[in-house]
Structure 1
Amino acid sequence: MDDFVSETDSEYTSYWRDWFISSRGNEYFCEIDEDYLTDRFNLTGLNTEVQYYQYALDLVTDVFDLDCDDEMRETIEKSARHLYGLVHARYVVTTRGLTKMLEKYKKSDFGKCPRVTCHSHPLLPMGLSDIPNVRPVKLYCARCEDIYNPKSTRHAVIDGAYFGTSFHNILFQVYPAYIPSKSTERYIPRVYGFKVHASAALIRWQTAKRDDMKRRLRRQGIDSGLTDDDGEEIEVVEEDEDQDLARHNRDQDASRNSTAVA
C-alpha cells in the first residue's frame, strides 16, 4: 500500500487487482476476470454487504476517480478488499474460477498437508461458514479428509466466507481425476516393537459397552445384576435386549399400519 501513496489517482487505481493479488497474505486468492466483475448480475445483493459499495467497486474495476482524503481512501480500500473477497467466493465455483484454483492447487500454492502419512499432499482453502466475519479460512486435505489451520498468521486472518463451504467439494466433482487415494496408514504406538496398551484399549471399549447396556436397562426399569465376573447375567441381558429390539420393531410396524389406514 505504501508504494502507491505518492502516485496519482489514475496510477493508483490502474493496478489495484494486480496489487491485491501480489500482496503478501493474499496468495490464496485468484484473479477475478474483469468481465465477471463488471457483470452486475454476479454482484447481486453485495451492495447491502459492503460499505461504500459503489466506490469500492469503482476501485476494484479501475475506474475510481474520487478526490478524497487519506482516511476516506483507507475506508474505501478496506471495503474494496471485502467486496473482492465476497465476489471471489462466487467466482471460484465458476468454470473459469475452478480452472484457476486448480492450477494453484497443482502447484501447492495453498500449502501441503502437515499429516505425515499424507506425504505432503496439496491443500485447498475452504470456509466453515458462508457468512462473512464468522470463521477464518481453513485448509482441507482431500487425502485424509481433515482440515487444518494455515501456518502463516497472514493467512489465518482471511475470512473463510471468501472461499465458501462448497468450493473444495465442487472442484473435485468437476475434476474427479484429481481425487487422491485415501490415506489408510495409521500411526501405531509401540515400545520395542510391541503395540502399546492394545489390551487396555479393548478393556475400555468393553467397559463402555457394558455401561451403556446398564443405562439402557435402567431406563427400562430392569435390574441387570451385572457384575465384573458374572457372564451368566450378560447372556440374560442380551436376551432382554433382543426382546426390546423386537418390541421396538413391532411398535414401528403398528405405527406404519395406522398411518396407512389414516
Structure 2
Amino acid sequence: MSRPQELVEDQVELDEEIISGNGEVDEVMDEVDEGYTSSTPTSTLTWISWFCSLPGHEYFCEVSEDFIEDDFNLTGLNTMVPFWKEAMEMVLDVEPDEDTSKIPDVSIVEASAELLYGLVHQRYILTRAGLQSMVDKYENAAFGVCPRVYCVGCNVVPCGRSDLPGIDTVKLYCPNCNDIYSPPSSRFQGVDGAFFGTTFAHLFFQSYRELSPAPFWKPSSSTESSLSPGRSPDSVNSSQRPPFVNPNPHGGQKRPEGRIYEPRIYGFKVSERAKSGPRMQWLRLRPQSPEELDMVDWRGRWIDDEEYGDVDDDDDNEEVDKQMEDFDPVKLP
C-alpha cells in the first residue's frame, strides 16, 4: 500500500509544478502586455523589415521611420499614391482609424503602401544614411556582378530608367562598362525601377570614388598574355599585379578592366567596313593615361585643336546672343 501512496504524492507535486508554471507564464504575459516588449522575433518585426525581407526585395534597404515621418521628404507624393493616409499608417505600423472600413479591399492599401515605400526609398538612398546602407550591400555583392565577360565580375548597383513608377523594371548599372543590364533572376522583374531612380547609381560612385574604376586603362604584358588562346582573363592572378595608384584625384580609385571584345574569323579581325563588322567599339574605349583626360575641355573638345578652339566658342556665343536679340514675340491683336 505504500507504493500507491508515493504515486499520489508524486502526482500532487506535478500538479503543483504545473500550476506554478502557468502562473509564471501569466505573469510574463502580463509584463508583455503592460510594457509592449517581447523576446519573440515576430513582435519586433515591423512592416518595413517584413517588406525588405520578401523574395525579390533584396535590393531594398530599410528606410528609417524618422525619414518617413518628416513631411519635407514626402513632398508631392500624396498626389501619386492612392489611399495616402491608410498606406502611411500601414508602413509606420499605426493602428488604422474607423474610417478604414470604407476601403473595399485590404490588398488595395497594400499596393499603395508598397508604392509609397518605393518612392520614399528612391529619395532615401540619395541621402548620406541611405548611401551608406547601399555601400554595405555593394561591398557584399548583394546586387550581383556585371554579366559582361571583360568586366571580370565587377559589382553592380540597381538603377531605373525613369523616376516615375510604372515605366520599367529595375536594372543593374556597371561602373566599369557604364552600361545597364537586366537582373539575372526573374524574381526582380516585379520591382519597379522608379524605386531606385536614375540618379542613385551615378551619385553613388561620385560620393564613393574609391569604389569606382578609373577612367583610363593601359594594356600591359600580363593583359596581353591573358588574351592569348586557351587562357581566360580570370587565369591571371591579381595578386601578382602591383597595387593600383591613381595619379588623378578626380577619377576613380579602383583598377579598371578595359579589354574590348574583337570579332575574329580564323584568327583575322573582322573589318569595321564589313556589313557584319563591329560597330561603335569606341564607346567602350578608355584613354591610356590620365594626361589624356586633361587634353579636353568641359565640352569634351580638344583644347589644342584649332578647329574647336576658343574662336568657335566665341562664335557660338555670338550666334546664340544674336538669335536672342532677333527674337520677336508674336503680338496679340
Separation (CA, whole Å) in 2 of partners of 1:103 and 1:13 = 23
8 Å contact kept, 2:263–2:269: yes
Taking structure 1 as reference, are residues 172 and 197 closer, same or farther at Cα in structure 2, changes over 3 Å only? closer
Equivalent in 236, 244, 268 of residue 195 of structure 1: 268
1:61 offset after TM fit, Å?
A: 0.7
- Deviations along 1:179-205, one digit per CA (max 9) or x if unpaired, are 12443201223355x22433xx34669
**Residue in structure 2 matched with residue 96 of structure 1 by the alignment:** 129
Separation (CA, whole Å) in 2 of partners of 1:196 and 1:151 = 31
RMSD (Å), alpha carbons? 3.0
Separation (CA, whole Å) in 2 of partners of 1:40 and 1:79 = 18
* 1:127 to 2:201 alignment: no
Where does 1:6-85 land on structure 2 (aligned, <5 Å)? Answer: 15-66=46-97, 68=101, 72-85=105-118
8 Å contact kept, 2:160–2:194: yes
Larger CA deviation: 57-66 vs 73-82: 57-66
- Deviations along 1:127-172, one digit per CA (max 9) or x if unpaired, are 1111111121110000111100111222122111111111011111
Taking structure 1 as reference, are residues 51 and 197 closer, same or farther at Cα in structure 2, changes over 3 Å only? same
* 1:114 to 2:187 alignment: no
* 1:140 to 2:173 alignment: yes
1:73 offset after TM fit, Å?
A: 1.5
1:13 offset after TM fit, Å?
A: 10
Separation (CA, whole Å) in 2 of partners of 1:59 and 1:14 = 13
Q: TM-score, normalised by structure 2?
A: 0.55
**Residue in structure 2 matched with residue 242 of structure 1 by the alignment:** none
Separation (CA, whole Å) in 2 of partners of 1:163 and 1:45 = 17
Separation (CA, whole Å) in 2 of partners of 1:57 and 1:12 = 20
**Residue in structure 1 matched with residue 186 of structure 2 by the alignment:** 153
What amino acid sits opposite 1:103 in the alignment?
Answer: D
Separation (CA, whole Å) in 2 of partners of 1:195 and 1:69 = 72
Larger CA deviation: 79-88 vs 172-181: 172-181
Secondary structure of the residue aligned to 2:105 is: helix
Query: Could you say which structure has the greater relative contact order, defined with CA pairs below 8 angstroms and 6 or more residues apart?
Result: 1
1:44 offset after TM fit, Å?
A: 1.1
Taking structure 1 as reference, are residues 65 and 117 closer, same or farther at Cα in structure 2, changes over 3 Å only? same
Taking structure 1 as reference, are residues 112 and 71 closer, same or farther at Cα in structure 2, changes over 3 Å only? farther
**Residue in structure 1 matched with residue 204 of structure 2 by the alignment:** 171
8 Å contact kept, 1:13–1:62: no
- Deviations along 1:192-225, one digit per CA (max 9) or x if unpaired, are 5x22433xx34669xxxxxxxxxxxxxxxxxxxx
Aligned residues: 203
1:69 offset after TM fit, Å?
A: 9.3
Q: Gapped runs of 5+ residues in structure 2? A: 1-35, 37-41, 215-255, 277-311, 327-333
Q: Say which one has the larger Rg.
A: 2
1:84 offset after TM fit, Å?
A: 0.2
Separation (CA, whole Å) in 2 of partners of 1:151 and 1:196 = 31
Q: Gapped runs of 5+ residues in structure 1? A: 1-9, 206-248
8 Å contact kept, 2:152–2:257: no
Separation (CA, whole Å) in 1 of partners of 2:126 and 2:103 = 35
**Residue in structure 1 matched with residue 257 of structure 2 by the alignment:** 183
Separation (CA, whole Å) in 1 of partners of 2:201 and 2:69 = 25
What amino acid sits opposite 2:167 in the alignment?
Answer: V
Secondary structure of the residue aligned to 1:86 is: helix
Secondary structure of the residue aligned to 1:147 is: strand
Separation (CA, whole Å) in 1 of partners of 2:76 and 2:270 = 57
8 Å contact kept, 2:159–2:198: yes
1:112 offset after TM fit, Å?
A: 0.8
Taking structure 1 as reference, are residues 120 and 68 closer, same or farther at Cα in structure 2, changes over 3 Å only? farther
Larger CA deviation: 24-33 vs 174-183: 174-183
Q: TM-score, normalised by structure 1?
A: 0.69
